[in-house]
Amino acid sequence: MSITEARAPRGLAGLVVTETAIGDVLGAEGRYHYRGHDAIELARAADFERAWHLVVLGGLPDADATARFRARTAATRVPPPAVREVVATAAAELRDPLRGLQTALPVLSAARGGRPLYDLTEDERVEEALAIASAAPVILAACHRAERGLDPFPPAAVPAEGTAADYLRRVTGREPDDTVVRALSAYLIATIDHGLNASTFAARVIASTGADMASCVAGGLGALSGPLHGGAPSRALDALDAVGTPDRIEPFVRGELTAGRRLMGFGHAVYRTADPRARLLREVALELGGPRVGLAVEYERIAERLLAQHRPGRELHVNVEFYAAVVLERCGIPREMLTPTFAVARIIGWTAHVLEQARDPKIIRPSSRYVA
């Protein structure tokens, strides 16, 4: 068979299309790692910059190196003035922080003198990766604040503070307590990277053209915004709202499945066991407590039972998005900021993949088969 006749499976499912040293998802075993380090253990340690350093720069730093990395990334956190104007317009016109960041990225890149990856040295690419990933949470929070008529870019309350605490303060407007900072850090670390998911692949395809870092991240954001990928958590909360009380779970879930709708926060393209991120976040949710968690645990139990009847032989379990929604809501993150908060973490994964892809000057260019 010639190369042009080779047919890939639908959705490219299971097809190996690249090599990576960033991490791996072992779907059958229900675990995943970042550069050989168990991701759930890293998440339990709740030091976001340590995990960020590992994924992007390639080594697990000691306490001193982590502190230096925290200061380095905090220094590029607040974007230049041109971005402030975009945020004001985006907040008024788009009312969607994810789209606001997508709009602001080319301006941020231009203000930094950003150039195509193809023309940059490895050190310059790394600078771009860290600068864009560090500014993203502030821009997302600024879009949210501007929509509410608040100062979009208040000065940092604590210099060189970690990303999680700074982000929480900006989004909620409150002083975050340690329990909440640890919970958000665990979530962010657990979602930095996860194999060749749709948004990571999108970012890598763009990187393979030699485009600039901001374009790669903007493409990743577009993929992440879809309800089958990063857009599920707010819909999971909508489902819990619609249910209201435990006695209404079963009729609600049956109704959704009978109507042919998917249960948001359930199923996964790779895991055929429970999603390890969902297990971690269930634990975190139970630690945080609150009125929602009991209903969520019961919803999971009933939904998994009914999914097993609905698709016998297909392992459909709770995924990261379901308990992420519950945890983030308890951390004070509003519903419209759930997918943007996912982006805060996943942008770091994309930048690592973009750096890796950019080292190989081979454009990704598959073929299609014409059907009349």
337 binds ligand ACO per the rule CB under 6 A:
no
Report CA dihedral (269, 358, 349, 151) to the nearest 10 degrees. Answer: -130
328 binds ligand ACO per the rule CB under 6 A:
no
Shortest distance, position 344 Cβ to ligand ACO, whole Å: 14
Choice from 51, 86, 263, 331 touching ligand ACO (CB under 6 A): 263
175 is catalytic: no
Q: Which residue is nearest to ligand ACO (CB)?
A: 267
Shortest distance, position 222 Cβ to ligand ACO, whole Å: 14
> Cβ(326)–Cβ(335) under 8 Å?
no
Residue 37 phi/psi, 5° resolution?
Answer: -100, 125
Shortest distance, position 101 Cβ to ligand ACO, whole Å: 18
> Cβ(335)–Cβ(234) under 8 Å?
yes
Residue 311 or 359: the one with the smaller Cβ distance to ligand ACO is: 311
Residue 148 or 314: the one with the smaller Cβ distance to ligand ACO is: 314
314 binds ligand ACO per the rule CB under 6 A:
yes
Any idea which residue has 């590992």 for tokens? 54
Tell me the C-alpha distance between 317 and 95, whole Å: 33
170 binds ligand ACO per the rule CB under 6 A:
no
Tell me the C-alpha distance between 182 and 25, whole Å: 24
> Cβ(80)–Cβ(69) under 8 Å?
no
262 binds ligand ACO per the rule CB under 6 A:
yes
Choice from 266, 299, 323, 350 touching ligand ACO (CB under 6 A): 266
Tell me the C-alpha distance between 34 and 196, whole Å: 13
Choice from 61, 265, 276, 340 touching ligand ACO (CB under 6 A): 265
319 binds ligand ACO per the rule CB under 6 A:
yes
Shortest distance, position 266 Cβ to ligand ACO, whole Å: 4
Choice from 148, 301, 305, 311 touching ligand ACO (CB under 6 A): 311
27 binds ligand ACO per the rule CB under 6 A:
no
268 is catalytic: yes
Residue 109 or 319: the one with the smaller Cβ distance to ligand ACO is: 319
Residue 61 or 265: the one with the smaller Cβ distance to ligand ACO is: 265
Shortest distance, position 346 Cβ to ligand ACO, whole Å: 8
Three-class HEC string of 227-263: CCCCCHHHHHHHHHHHHCCHHHHHHHHHHHHHCCCCC
Structure tokens given for 25: 């998802």
96 binds ligand ACO per the rule CB under 6 A:
no
**List 268, 317, 329, 356, catalytic entry:** 268
Helix, strand, coil: what percent of the chain each, to 5?
A: 60, 5, 35
Residue 69 or 323: the one with the smaller Cβ distance to ligand ACO is: 323
Shortest distance, position 304 Cβ to ligand ACO, whole Å: 10
Q: Residue 326 burial (CB < 10 Å; 0-12/13-18/19+)?
A: buried
CA 336 to each of CA 5, 74, 222, 285: distance values in angstroms, whole numbers, following the listed order: 44, 25, 16, 19
B/e letters for 122-132, b = 16+ CB within 10 Å, e = fewer, are eeebbbbbbbb
**List 49, 147, 300, 321, catalytic entry:** 321
Which residues are marked as active site? 268, 321
- Interface residues with ligand ACO (CB under 6 A) are 228-229, 232, 262-269, 311, 314, 316, 319-321
